[in-house]
Structure 1
Amino acid sequence: MNLSTANLQRIEEVLAHAWAKSTCKSYSSGLLVFHVFCDKKSIPEPQHAPASSLLMSSFVSTIAGAYAGQMITNYLYGVRAWQILHSVAWCLNEPEMEALLKAATNLALASSKRKKRQPYTINFITVLQENLNLDDPLDASVFACLTTTFYAAARVGKFTVRRLDIFDPHIHVKPSDKCHEEDRNGLAVTTFHIPRTKASVNGEDIYWARQDGPTDPEAAWDNHESVNQPPANGHLFAYHFKGGYRPLTKTKFLERLRSAAHDAGSTLEYLLRGLPFDVVKAKGRWASNVFTLYLWKHAQIMAPYMQATPQLHESFARYTMPPIR
């Protein structure tokens, strides 16, 4: 065919771009586990690739129960990707493998499965907002990101970065990627163009529209923009940090929300135990107006406790009654 060595190398170079970098990292773990399995079973090197259907079935069945089902699936596709990249034939007994992967999910240890998380609802987001300081750069960024991902029905990973040092304006969303448009019904929507995703090298557009109530993403964005003034070509949810800017990482985002959710639960718990309002307010570092709103919101829940403790009811009335003019 008169193909040079450079022509053949080019095939491999182009094929390498079929998988995102983050996917390759996950697949590399699968390759390691696969080769350890082969070494322990004394499988000769030439039989590692092309891997027979029987070998791959044995691999999956051997590690079933030791890893989560989805992880085993990723490991299998890691071996598949490596063989495709090196022009090695990939042939499986598909019905058998499909059944084995399903069985691996059923056999996974409970400890390998993530606990079900509380769903994010408008009410839950409202409670979180009450436990965030929207004048704080980080909290303003986190709440804007939360409402954006919620109303855009988008994955958090599309609006955050994995690490502080990997922000890339050609991949990650920026304030300059935000614009206002109208849908076919003439309704105003805010559009964010994600420059690049795993599924599309040309990126994708994600939308939300203004909402009524405290979870309005437009109000949250306006607050973030006012508090942080994120650079046009910086990260969309960059926030002020020690005289500079930090892109919002997924880890920091989830960490702050967990803390806010914990504070929301612990504050009510302390009040229900009858702790004096002054003590709870000081412990939670609540501003006066925010703490009063919190008490009003949970007055119905606290009513039985206040009725049983007259001093608590008197204290509640003192905190929530409007000042005499």
Structure 2
Amino acid sequence: DLERIEDVITHAWAESTRELYGSGLLVFHIFCDNKSIPKDQRAPASSLLASSFVSTIAGAYAGRTISNYLYGVRAWHILHGLEWSLNVPEMEALLKAASTLAPTSSKRKKRQPYTITLISSLRDHLALDNPLDAAVYACLTTTFYAAARVGEFTVCRLDVFDPAIHVKPSDKRQEQDRNGLTTTTFHLPRTKSSLDGEDVYWARQDGPTDPEAAWIQHQEVNQPLADGHFFAYRFKDGYRPLTKAKFLERLRTVAREAGLEPLQGHGIRIGSTLEYLLCGLPFDVVKAKGRWASDVFTLYLRKHAQIMAPYMQSTSLLHEAFVRYTMPPVR
């Protein structure tokens, strides 16, 4: 029974989260070894020990990293059914102080967003009749216009594709609203925040970054199997699922060829959010589309004045548009 409880409770955390927490647990045990803390005093950890742990590594890591390391120790306690009791006000103050004391080298620059102009430039340096390039460009445009995470449309390794977990061509469908507007929807069987899966979607776009045209090109070049990986590409006599590493590596290479600075993968979702805001979509709509759990995405936004311009006019352009859309026609 105890083994079954451990097996089940492990799935409370995503695989990537477990890996991160594992790093935190390692740092905790190194701290305890250096302090000569006996093993029987490490778990359950006292509030004093937890506070000492955070205080010791403050100034060596980013504040968020320290928080995640502490959560890793907490998860270890939960997994083994041990009590986890802290002086919460003291710990909150320590974590806030740890963020203040974080070394400059640990502070990330704000992620630069992908833009339609950048994506168009990358397209010009991709060979879209090449199996890998066709898959990469289709993946780029889909994740951008669906405001999806890169990891939701790629796999972490070549040997881990699982049709029960990863998105497939058979998970794609078209939907039409009451006004006849069409969207393409993708069911993600499992995501970082939902074991039951989530839907993401895009609509056809004008211009070279149209995700529908990119998907059709990918289909023609690669002919992915209905129950294979969504962005599988032809390789030798078979198929390879598109890994996150290969996807980002190809984008970095193409960016350099185009004389552009390579961007991080997370910049795709940030760029999508910015693009939809610049198109006039309200913040709450964009937040829902991007499935942002909080308002943290606002930290990465650029062009604040352009985003806010429609909301600040003496006669709101958005209000006029809303009235035109919702009010019945005059007879």
What's 1:307 paired with?
A: none
Q: Which residue of 2 aligns with 1:309?
A: none
What SS class does the counterpart of residue 242 from structure 2 fall into? coil
Looking at structure 2, the residues matched to 180 and 90 of structure 1 have their Cα atoms a distance apart, in angstroms, of 48
Which residue is equivalent to 2:314?
A: none
2: CA distance, partners of 1:23 / 1:184 = 41
- Alignment partner of 1:24 is 2:56: no
Deviations 1:269-311 (A, max 9, x none): xxxxxxxxxxxxxxxxxxxxxxxxxxxxxxxxxxxxxxxxxxx
Moved more, 144-153 or 15-24: 15-24
Residue 98 (structure 1) aligned with residue 79 (structure 2): no
Q: Partners in 2 of 1:139 and 1:74 — Cα distance?
A: 36
* Aligned CA distance change for structure 1 residues 166 and 259 (closer, same or farther; 3 Å): same
Equivalent positions of 1:96-175 (< 5 A) are 96-175=90-169
Tell me how far apart the structure 1 counterparts of residues 7 and 116 of structure 2 sit (CA, whole Å): 47
Please state how far the C-alpha of 1:185 moved relative to its aligned partner: 4.1
SS at match of 1:248: coil
Distance in 2 between residues matched to 1:48 and 1:90, nearest whole Å: 11
Q: Are 1:234 and 2:228 matched, yes or no? A: yes
Relative to structure 2, which stretch is displaced further, 18-27 or 52-61? 18-27
Displacement of 1:20:
2.2
Unaligned runs of 5+ in 1: 1-5, 267-325
Residue in structure 2 matching 1:45, options 36, 39, 49: 39
Per the alignment, do residues 242 and 116 of structure 1 end up closer, same or farther by CA in structure 2, a change over 3 Å counting?
A: farther
Give 1:247's aligned residue.
241
Query: How far apart in 2 are the matches of 1:118 and 1:14?
Result: 39
Q: Which residue identity does 2:238 align to in structure 1?
A: G
**What secondary structure is seen at the aligned counterpart in 2 of 1:163?**
coil
Aligned mates of 1:95, 1:87 — CA distance in 2? 24
Which whole-Å deviations, capped at 9, do the CAs of 1:67-122 have from their partners, x for residues lacking one?
23222222111110110111111112223222322332333333334444431011
SS at match of 1:192: strand
Count of aligned positions:
260
- 2:91 counterpart SS class: helix
Q: How far did residue 184 of structure 1 move?
A: 5.1
Per the alignment, in what secondary structure is the counterpart of residue 258 of structure 2? Answer: helix
In the alignment, residue 63 of structure 1 is paired with which amino acid?
I
Q: What TM-score does the superposition give when structure 1 sets the normalisation length?
A: 0.76
2-structure distance, mates of 1:21, 1:163? 13
Task: Decide which structure has greater helix share.
Answer: 1
* Greater Rg over alpha carbons, structure: 1
User: 85-94 vs 179-188, which deviates more?
Assistant: 179-188
Whose RCO is larger (CA < 8 A, sep 6+)?
A: 2
In 2, Cα distance between the equivalents of 1:148 and 1:203?
Answer: 17
Q: Please state how far the C-alpha of 1:163 moved relative to its aligned partner.
A: 1.0
CA distance in 2, matches of 1:222, 1:154: 19
Q: Distance between the aligned counterparts of 1:184 and 1:154, measured in 2?
A: 25
Letter in 2 for 1:258: R
Q: Percent identity?
A: 73
Q: Which amino acid is the alignment partner of residue 50 of structure 1?
A: P
TM-score (norm 2): 0.75
Identify the match of residue 181 of structure 1 among 175, 186, 194: 175
Aligned counterpart, 1:220 = 214
Does residue 196 (structure 1) correspond to residue 190 (structure 2)? The answer is yes
Match 1:62 to one of 56, 73, 93: 56
Shift of residue 65, structure 1, vs aligned partner: 2.2
